[in-house]
Structure 1
Amino acid sequence: MSQTTSTIPITASGEPVWELPSRGVVGMACLIIAEAAIFIIFVVAYIFYMGKSLSGPTPQQVLELPIFGTICLLSSSFTVHYAVSALRKDNLRGCILGLGSTVLLGAIFLATTAQEWYHLIHDHGLTITTNLFGTTYYSLVGLHATHVVVGLIMLTLAFGLALRGNVHEAHSEKLEVLSLYWHFVDAVWVVVFLVVYVIGR
């Protein structure tokens, strides 16, 4: 007895075969969702305690808009996107330029944050224990700065590997996963900037 083979097509002719999403992208998406939940808690706490400090200094007295640092950080989203796009085209030089620019812009942002904190602590005596504003401000902005540091460490490692020629087109997906984290950090800063420096003042 001969066996018959099914001739029913599984997919229609010409249609692309569906593939599972990248594990790296899925993992980063889960991490971003979890981190977003943490940031939401800190933002809500800042808004809840806004204006409830019993002593000064107040946000209106000490906070200034960090325009330059914000421009640098948001610009770094474009440079890291450029790095990923260049690597997809096997343009290592463009990738190095994009990564180097991203690291530089992120470092400048951190420097402006450190300068602001020095000004607040040294000139205005605002520490994390001064009042409710100090506690919520340093907690929220410090949480974001910590994420920037983590992102910069990973981007610097990628930049170093690219300089050594160890990054190729095949690694573009991994670099894209890293860029998703950096885009998240930038997006969170937009929320922090609006809540702390615009609404909070």
Structure 2
Amino acid sequence: MSEAVATAEQIHGHDDHPAHLQHHFVTSDQQFEASKMGMWLFLITEILLFSGMFVAYTVYRVWHPEVFQGVSSLLDWRLGGLNTIVLLASSFTVAMSIHFAQKNNQKGLVINLVITLLCACIFLVVKYFEYTGKFSHGIFPGIAYHPHGDYAVYDIPYAGQFFSIYYIMTGIHGFHVLVGIGVFIWITIRAIKGDFTSAYYTPVELTGLYWHLVDIIWIFLFPLLYLI
């Protein structure tokens, strides 16, 4: 039996073995580093996913700059700006939740997780009204793009391509927000039960890393789609 295996067996045999420590890890620090590495690898795949969409946006914008500049005015920058503020606020509160977890402040942890969760819900509610407003005027992606009424003047060639990119990029981003809501609900319930302490708050920090990426992606989407 190797020394490493013997050490691991000795540690796991102790009565003070932490409940959160999985059997294949020797220490909590080792488990945390492995978990963090796994999250970073996942985030890299997410960056690659959105990078492909940003490349598609760039190519189509170079091909049809006047179309993209014209129909982008159909997007309400005020709603986009509101969602930007909401996500920036949520990025701050999730950072504070990690801080309070490190300080063993259960009340501060739960409050900031709840605020983050509410901000995520507000983001999707604003997106819902933004989408339905466009749908009511015939602003759909691709060949389904047929604006009517006061928006009929925007029925120009290649405009559907812009909204295909818009709906795909914001839709996939919105799906990530929805996933984040589910995770935050789970994390908040565990925080209320007192599962997290200064010795163990890995799920809170990993969720924070994921949420920061969601925020950063929107920081790029907002100016590219709404302002430029």
Fold conserved (TM > 0.5)? Answer: yes
Gaps of 5+ in 2: 1-28, 146-159
AA aligned to 1:180 is: L
Which residue in the other structure is 2:184 paired with? 155
SS of 2:200's partner is helix
Give me the whole-angstrom Cα distance separating, in 2, the residues matched to 1:150 and 1:198: 27
Identify the match of residue 87 of structure 2 among 73, 82, 85. 73
Q: TM-score, normalised by structure 1?
A: 0.82
Give me the whole-angstrom Cα distance separating, in 2, the residues matched to 1:128 and 1:153: 28
**Aligned runs of 1:52-201 on 2, under 5 Å?**
52=64, 58-60=71-73, 62-65=74-77, 66-122=80-136, 124-129=137-142, 130=145, 131-199=160-228
Contact 2:87/2:215 (8 A) holds in 1: yes
Identity across matched positions, percent? 30
C-alpha deviation, 1:47, in angstroms: 2.3
Per-residue CA deviation, residues 34-61 of structure 1 (Å, 9 max, x unaligned), is 110110111121222237399998222x
Gaps of 5+ in 1: 1-18
Contact 2:100/2:108 (8 A) holds in 1: yes
Q: TM-score, normalised by structure 2?
A: 0.73
Higher-helix-fraction structure = 2
In the alignment, is residue 48 of structure 1 matched against residue 48 of structure 2?
no
Contact 2:57/2:165 (8 A) holds in 1: yes
Paired residue total: 179
SS of 1:109's partner is helix
SS of 1:168's partner is coil
